[in-house]
Chains A and B, each alone.
Chain A
Amino acid sequence: MLGFGNFEAWISAIDGTRMAPNAIELTGINKSFGPVRANKDINLAVHKGTIHGIIGENGAGKSTLMSILYGFYQADSGQIEVDGKPVTINTPNDAIAMGIGMVHQHFMLVENFTVLENVMLGAEGAQLISGSIAKARSELKHLEEEYALEVDTEAVIEELPVGLQQRVEILKALYRGAEILILDEPTGVLTPAEADHLFRILKQLKDQGKTIVLITHKLREIMAVTDNVSVMRQGEMVATRKTSETSVEELAELMVGRHVLLRVEKGEAKPGDVKLAVENLTVKDSRGVVMVDNVSFEVRAGEIVGIAGVAGNGQSQMIEAIAGIRRAETGRVLLDGEPIGVTGDADPALLRKRGMAHVPEDRHHMGLVLQFEENENSILGYHADVEYLNGPMLDIEGIRSDARDKIEKYDIRPPNCRLKTANFSGGNQQKIVLAREMEQDPAVLIVGQPTRGVDVGAIEFIHKRIIEMRDAGKAVLLVSVELDEIRSLADRILVMFAGRVVGERGPDATEGELGLLMAGVEGEPTKEAAE
């Protein structure tokens, strides 16, 4: 089980930090959930005062391993040492007591509490909090100064941008005396600039002697910020490398277990007629806040238009409005020149009939019913089509054989159309949605976050399919917060910021240029498309 690479890393590690005990040392960790072995004989050594990256595909067991370390789960067997001392961690409180802090992917903050209240929460110290508030405030100030993590302690969380919310999470951990900080996919919600800022903070924390474990699936982040990196695949620790001695290509191959194409191969786009036209679209969210502000653009047959932007800048509301799920305030959306009634009676079922397919951003809540069998999800939204019906009855046999065809064509695993959808991995769930939407042979395909939470191997497949759709003359509208994905797939890139399209660029736009637009740094004409 023990990879050869691991051994090498140990040797090199011994050279560097011979004397200090490891901040964390895991030996022979096993964890099973029923028949699923999520962690198999994991060994991991994280040296004190380093940034250690852990990468792996979804379901490789990274989160399970970190949950064991943080006390959410108990390992079936194996040993945990913190600072050279064997320990048992039964609850997160045990972990905190040992100086382990965790910053979760989804922030664990009380939205309508202030920063100070959030930091104190669970560490109030006494029944009456007035005394401890003063103490906490001064301590928090001290921490902010020491680590250059300025946040207004009196600000209410929901009014802070995500980058600052994350900082509060880090402060929370430090306030509890964390010496070892685990960050789970910390950059998913950040702009490139915010991510850079986070990395500077992490490096500074490292310089002050903290140990950082960074879980991510973004290879570039690993290269940019870590000292060592461990790769997990299918519950096993397959390799540990010094970051300076490895490459993106090697890590990708280790993650997937085979060679992968990181850049998608595609030819020139041959744009045809305008299939989808969005005119002056304005959409408000349920609280009445304008989320999409007077947006106009067109998508032609045979091209992929990518919408770049940091999550939460109106992309979600925009595609929901275009797909007829959310009512728009003003504006028009034309499908094949015909308005679809976005401000009134747009009906997703009717839009499907008119040739619009929609792969939603949130497959867990929107694109799939996780409790359904796979075949039941393969007709979601198309369940009223005559081909799936016998009068009012569902044509169960027809639906199942249709699902089996799609499973084969899209290589969905396990190939069992009776399996509950929740039991498929993220990548395979996404393939279920893609298969359903693409096999309807739509004229317009709207794709939101096609590879969110999807493993590298499946990403390659999904990207290929999207390009195939383009080459087959479909109009594709792609929304993604992964800038790399937009840059490698889109023929034209629109950048959204605060509900508006703030710029249009060609596929050769640099990351820095797009990053500035995404951060709302304007001052450029919005039309200078690179043809």
Chain B
Amino acid sequence: MAAPYAKLPGWVDYGLIPLVNLTVAFLVAGLVVLLVGENPLRAAQLLVQGAFGSGDGIGYTLFYATNFIFAGLCVAVAFHCGLFNIGGEGQAYVGGLGVAIVCLAFDSIFPWWINLPLATIMAAIAGALWALIPAWLQATRGSHIVITTIMFNFIAASFMVYLLVGPLKPVSSMAPETRTFAEGAQLPRLDWMLEMFGLTIRSSPLNITFLLALLVSFGVWLLIWRTRLGYEIRTMGFSPTAAKYAGVNQTRIIIVAMLVSGGLAGMMALNPVMGDQTRLQMNFVAGAGFVGIAVALMGRSHPVGIIPAAILFGMLYQGGAELSFEMPTISRDMIVIIQGLVILFAGALEHMFRPTIARLFHMAGGGALRPAAEPGE
């Protein structure tokens, strides 16, 4: 049973190969920058400086990363069950409704530390419910989850527009958004945390949801690798026939995994809605649900990979914004191109360089490697 491709050591698999993919993505992006007549090195410098060069930059980078962590976890949990949930965008959007309901109802009654858990629960419920119908259709009717979840993104968008121009809009207002939440529904900023590292903050939207995201990441790890439910999800994802053999109720596990996935997407809404804008606005998700797919792919559906991948995309968002400010020829669309290249090379073409690297690696170090790789004991 010799595997045709031998296993690579972890640091190659999880370190070197993503690094090579990223490098190639940035090289190609550099060519694009060159084409519009700018200096790619300077552009790169501006991008990194914009993302990490100041306290505010770091704050924004981590703020965006918070969204991407939730979105990435959402995609990852579904991946583990063998499902491709690309409805994170819509689930997060509807999750915002859950947040808004709690905030609008209780913002002048409870302090933030009571409203946060309530809003978290409601956001998760709203997101999970939005995933329920596609999940149910997949589990009992075999309707493909990719089709149904993407359609539900459109439905979510229209539904939210209806709510925001109608029932949720204050009577006197002309903007399609809810009223601004009172202080009880405004999450504390994490300026103190950045200042601990000696950074100066003027204004950064980074808020306590970032810490919640880290906590939830740990929770997802526990769920997937340490609970009976996670075991059943993974069994189902790797081998539905083995799941059947093991007596796993397939309908139930598909629905449960999608509920968890949708719930995670829903929780993403906490960050922009309660942490930053303190009101529910249109299109607050702004594509984060789709970035989550790339984040999960890059992070190999593992929280330990998802967090750095999310920070990388946070850097592209924040640094990209700074870059287009400093270099007007590089428009916002150029930044989207660069992000697209990263997704392309790190996600879709993830296996492009693998065979070559594996071959080089074994040619160079195959002999020396043997004792380490032979399972001893």
Contacts and interface: CB of A to CB of B under 8 A. Distances in A.
Given A59-B2, A64-B2, A392-B227, A372 B375 contact: no
A379 B235 CA distance: 11
A53 interface: no
Interface string B3-18: 1111100000000000
A34 B242 contact: no
Pairs A-B, 7 closest by C-beta atoms: A34-B6, A349-B247, A348-B247, A381-B246, A414-B375, A35-B373, A35-B370
A389 B229 CA distance: 11
B300 interface: no
Interface string A347-381: 11111100000101010011111111000100111
Given A348-B245, A422-B3, 18 more contacts: A32-B362, A35-B6, A35-B373, A64-B2, A347-B247, A351-B247, A365-B239, A366-B245, A367-B242, A369-B235, A370-B239, A372-B234, A372-B238, A380-B245, A383-B231, A389-B228, A393-B222, A423-B375
Given A383-B231, A383-B232, A414-B377, A368 B5 contact: no
A414 B232 CA distance: 26
A163 interface: no
B321 to A, nearest CB: 40
A33 B242 contact: no
Residue from A34, A323, A350 with most neighbouring chain B CB atoms (10 Å): A34
Contacts of A32: 362, 366
Chain A interface: which size bin? 35 or more
B241 interface: yes
Contact of A348 (B235, B246, B362): B246
B2 A383 contact: no
Given A381-B246, A383-B232, A366 B238 contact: no
A381 B243 CA distance: 8
A509 interface: no
A369 B226 contact: no
A366 B358 CA distance: 30
Contacts of B238: 369-372
Interface residues of B, number: 35
Given A34-B366, A36-B2, A352 B247 contact: yes
A367 B246 CA distance: 8
Interface in A385-435: 389, 392-394, 396, 414-416, 419, 422-426
24 contacts: A32-B366, A33-B3, A33-B6, A36-B3, A36-B6, A58-B1, A64-B2, A347-B247, A349-B248, A351-B247, A352-B247, A369-B234, A369-B238, A376-B231, A383-B232, A384-B228, A384-B247, A392-B228, A392-B229, A393-B226, A414-B375, A415-B377, A422-B1, A423-B7
Nearest to B243: A369
> Secondary structure at chain B's binding surface: helix, strand, loop or mixed?
helix
Contact of B245 (A367, A371, A393): A367
B209 to A, nearest CB: 26
A443 B285 CA distance: 57
> Secondary structure at chain A's binding surface: helix, strand, loop or mixed?
loop
Interface string B21-50: 000000000000000000000000000000
A381 B247 contact: yes
A393 B235 contact: no
Interface string B208-235: 0000000000000010001111011011
A376 B2 CA distance: 22
Interface string B238-282: 110110111110000000000000000000000000000000000
Given A32-B366, A392-B229, A366 B373 contact: no
Residue from B226, B358, B373 with most neighbouring chain A CB atoms (10 Å): B226
Given A35-B6, A380-B235, A350 B227 contact: no
Interface in A1-48: 32-36, 38
Contacts of A324: 247
A426 B1 contact: yes
